[in-house]
Amino acid sequence: MSGLRSRRKGYEGEREFVNLYGGERMPLSGAQGGSFTGDVVGLPYLGRGEIKRRARGFKTIYDWLASNDFLAMRADRKPWLVCMKMDDLKLILEEMDELKKGRV
């Protein structure tokens, strides 16, 4: 994929994520350093995020998540990572908001 097509695909993925789940797209993400790192900011409880979109690159992850609520993974000598469907994460974040407001 050419550089321009790759950047366009990245921008479209970032825009799609922000439109669906909120937050704010970081201008010039990837081109700047320091406080401009990450693709999306402003999601409550989540902080700064990197958005990745692949045609087939995550097939195994989707297969593992098909019959599970989350996936925990770790490379040797690296910290654990947790992956889950965004709709499930949204439910958790909404429950956290309710708890914070004292409604649950």
Between CA 23 and CA 9 the distance in angstroms is 19
pLDDT of residue 33: 65
Measured CA distances, 33 to 1, 12, 53 (Å): 24, 21, 21
The ranges assigned to domains in the chain are 1-53, 54-104
Radius of gyration (C-alpha) of the chain in whole angstroms = 16
Both structure tokens of 29: 């993400």
Residue-level length of the chain: 104
pTM: 0.74
Low-confidence ranges of the chain (pLDDT < 70): 1, 29-36, 103-104
For residues 14 and 39, the answer to whether their CB atoms sit within 8 Å is yes
Report whether 9 contacts 53 (CB < 8 A): yes
